[in-house]
């Protein structure tokens, strides 16, 4: 099985869209390959912690493509409070509980409501090999056996896995688009405003751009006696910005 065969079989291609540069370039690539009536975009909303204008940016760059909005049963801070600590690179509940789980539920609902796809879906995600050794080891295309049940045939595809950062921005320009405004403000990636995987530079820029949210993170660190950063340094120690 390959992507072209699945296009010919009229599969649904679901583009996971965070509003970030990789998602934007991925959507452009998928759109150039797949008939428009076989594409849907899906975004996991992250109340309180995602960048301003994310949903509007997605809507402005996907044209008439349907956009599914996936909601988690809890917010990021509710998850942190219930665990008594922030997520970690090893235990990334923010990804599983707030993004992957809600997105998968929304896609299952959409498939059920649209029988013309015959339960056949290609879940497109924007992880790139350049980002980390772990992502470099990911398989670019595979059957997702866990989700292939109850009449579903589910494949996972990483359309931009081999693209370099420069090629990502070039793909956005070629689509006659611009990235989300946060990149122009200095951010190197767009996930949560304050991500456990973020660099010192990104955390510092985010603190300056989102002072109210920054104070909430710092207060949460102090109350829980647990840092956002896996380095075990507090946000003020990392950014040099008091709160």
User: CATH number of the domain that 89 lies in?
Assistant: 3.40.50.620
In a domain, 40, yes or no: yes
Domain of residue 212, residue span: 187-238
Between the alpha carbon of residue 109 and those of residues 12, 24, 104, 179, the distances in Å are: 13, 24, 9, 30
Query: For 120-139, what is each residue's pLDDT tens digit?
Result: 999 999 999 998 898 999 99
Q: Which residues of 101-130 are buried (b: 16+ CB within 10 A; e: fewer)?
A: bbbbebbbebbeeeeebebbbbbbbbbbbb
**pLDDT at 93 (0 to 100):** 81
Mark whether 151 and 80 lie in a shared domain: yes
Do 161 and 129 meet the contact criterion of CB atoms below 8 Å apart?
yes
Mark whether 139 and 26 lie in a shared domain: yes
Mark whether 107 and 202 lie in a shared domain: no
Question: 78: closest CA among 44, 47, 45, 43?
Answer: 47
Reported for 231-236, long-range contacts at CB under 8 A and 24+ positions apart, including other chains, are 235/194, 235/203, 235/207
User: How far separated are the first and last CA of the chain, in Å rounded?
Assistant: 54
- What number of other Cβ atoms are within 10 A of residue 88's Cβ? 14
d(CA 54, CA 182): 10
Mark whether 64 and 13 lie in a shared domain: yes
Q: For the chain, which ranges sit under pLDDT 70?
A: none
Domain count across the chain? 2
Q: Which residues fall within 8 angstroms of residue 163, CB to CB, at 6 or more apart?
A: 22, 25, 128, 130, 171
């Amino acid at each position: 099985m390959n992507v072209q065969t699945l296009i010919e079989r009229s599969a649904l291609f679901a583009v996971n869209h965070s509003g970030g540069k990789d998602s934007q370039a991925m959507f452009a690539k998928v759109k150039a390959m797949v008939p428009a009536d076989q594409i849907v975009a899906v975004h996991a909303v992250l109340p309180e912690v995602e960048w301003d204008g994310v949903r509007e940016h997605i809507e402005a760059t996907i044209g008439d493509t349907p956009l599914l909005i996936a909601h988690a049963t809890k917010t990021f801070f509710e998850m942190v409070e219930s665990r008594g600590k922030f997520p970690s690179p090893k235990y990334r509940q923010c990804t599983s509980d707030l993004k992957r789980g809600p997105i998968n539920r929304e896609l299952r609902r959409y498939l059920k409501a649209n029988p013309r796809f015959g339960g056949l879906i290609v879940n497109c995600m924007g992880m790139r090999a350049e980002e980390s050794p772990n992502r470099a080891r990911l398989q670019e295309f595979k059957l997702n056996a866990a989700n292939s049940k109850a009449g579903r045939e589910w494949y996972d595809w990483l359309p931009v896995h081999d693209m370099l950062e420069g090629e990502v921005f070039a793909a956005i320009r070629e689509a006659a688009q611009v990235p989300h405004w946060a990149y122009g403000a200095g951010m190197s990636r767009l996930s949560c405003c304050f991500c456990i995987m973020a660099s010192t530079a990104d955390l510092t820029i985010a603190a300056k751009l989102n002072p109210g949210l920054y104070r909430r993170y710092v207060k949460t660190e102090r109350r829980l006696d647990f840092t956002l950063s896996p380095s075990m340094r507090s946000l003020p120690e990392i950014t040099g910005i008091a709160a």
